[in-house]
Amino acid sequence: MVDLMENHTLVGEDIQLVIKGNVLAVLSSKNLEVISSAIHNGGCKKTKAIINTQVFDDYGDLRLHKDPVKFIIESSRKFGNFDDFVGMVTYASIKDFALVSKKEGNLGVSVIATAGCTHSESAGEKIEVHEILGTINIIIIIDGNPTNSCLANIFITSTEAKTAALRDLDIRSRYSSDEATGTITDALVIAKTGFGSNIVSGGPASKLGNLVGFCTRKAVKEAVIKAKVGGFSPSRSVIKRLKERNLSLEKLAYEASKIENISIDIKELKKQLKMNTVMTSLLLAAARLDDDFKKGLIPKELVDVKFLSNKFSEKFLDSSNSSKNKIIKQLASVDLPPFTKNILIPFLINIHLFG
């Protein structure tokens, strides 16, 4: 089967984004100055080719990690033989890439992103890795002449923009359910054409930093949404949003069953969460409050969390229910965050999911 080639024009003179088979390549007729965290020829380089290579499932995670560079080099040959190309690798589909370009005067930026968030993480947490099936790879082309220190500043700005994109979509760490800052194998390549006078500032408020931040945030967000594996729709269900916070239906049902006389049917619970949108929205709001509680971000006016969260139960439990006080006392045995459990139990009782 012959691979069809797909071409897209980027900022700068004679720079193309080309896709062929499992390889996405940025090809330039002139040398680009590059700084990158790429696994092949990372660091500071001059190159005419930047390659992002997709690994197919049948290649195998173990085989890849024994010699990723060999796979990248073999894949690069779809475009001929390059001496010093910069290469990245991903399990995300390169056909689901996002490209965002923007120009201001003589300064232009193109950002290409591929994304899979199956191994999203929050930097600084404990991470145990058994396999890697997703990553966020970003290629930034700057048609301009930032200094080396400016390029280092752009590394920071673009990373901030990537994290902002993940937070726009409420992506959570698979390891802690905290807000994700990236994935465990992200790679970033920044290339400049060297055209024009020196640019010394790459912070978010600078002209260049603003262009890079805008394009990166938009490209990463689009790539995450488009990804067929590990993709996250902005309109994904409340049930999925709760599961990403380590609040699966199974866990909710198990913990709720600790309350005397409550028996949960998971299928019925799922149905009711879809139907009862008011209570379901309150449950998601409670989960967000619990995020703040976990981080110690409860405002001083709300300092007595136990008292405050218990008021949710008192409010939503029918005051005529003779077992109301007994139920509230039993909530202490439920191993769920405070606001979530004090919304969940009244919700289950009010929709009569109890025996």
Please compute the mean of the pLDDT values over residues 94-98 and round it to a whole number. 95
Q: Out of 55-64, 241-250, 335-344, which region has the weakest mean confidence (pLDDT)?
A: 55-64
268 has a pLDDT exceeding 50: yes
Mean pLDDT over 329-355 rounds to: 79
Q: Report the percentage of the chain scoring pLDDT > 70.
A: 91
State the pLDDT confidence band at 13, using cuts at 50, 70 and 90: very high
Single out the residue of 135, 141, 140, 49 nearest to residue 93, CA to CA. Answer: 135
Stretch 25-47: mean pLDDT: 96
Q: Residue 260, Cβ neighbours under 10 Å: how many? A: 11
**Range with the lowest mean pLDDT among 76-80, 120-124, 172-176?**
76-80
Q: For the segment 242-267, what is each residue's pLDDT rounded down to a tens digit?
A: 999 999 999 998 998 888 877 788 88
Q: β-strands 198-199, 187-192: how paired?
A: unpaired
- When pLDDT is averaged across residues 283-301 and rounded to a whole number, the result is 88
Q: Over 80: is that where the pLDDT of 12 sits?
A: yes
Domains of the chain (ranges plus CATH)? 5-226 (3.60.70), 238-350 (no CATH)
Which of residues 215 and 65 earns the better pLDDT score?
A: 215
pLDDT confidence of residue 46: 96
Please name the residue ranges forming H helices in 131-229.
148-168, 207-226
229 has a pLDDT exceeding 60? yes
| CB-CB contact of 187 with 137 (8 Å) | yes
- The pLDDT value recorded for residue 322 is 61
Q: Higher pLDDT residue, 135 or 204?
A: 204
CB-based contacts of 221: which residues, under 8 Å, 6+ apart? 98, 165, 168, 169
Pseudo-torsion of CA 146, 150, 154, 156, nearest 10°? 170
How high is the pLDDT of residue 57?
Answer: 65
pLDDT-derived band at 1 (thresholds 50, 70, 90) equals: very low
pLDDT at position 320, please?
55
Q: Which of 131-135, 177-181, 265-269, 283-287 has the highest mean pLDDT?
A: 177-181
Q: Is the pTM of this model over 0.75?
A: yes
Q: How confident is the model at residue 355 (pLDDT cuts 50, 70, 90)?
A: very low
Q: Rounded mean pLDDT of 47-70?
A: 79
Q: Where are the alpha helices (DSSP H) in 18-126?
A: 61-66, 68-76
How confident is the model at residue 150, as a pLDDT? Answer: 98
Average pLDDT on 136-162 reads 98
Q: Please measure the distance between the N-terminal and C-terminal CA atoms of the chain and give it in whole angstroms.
A: 60
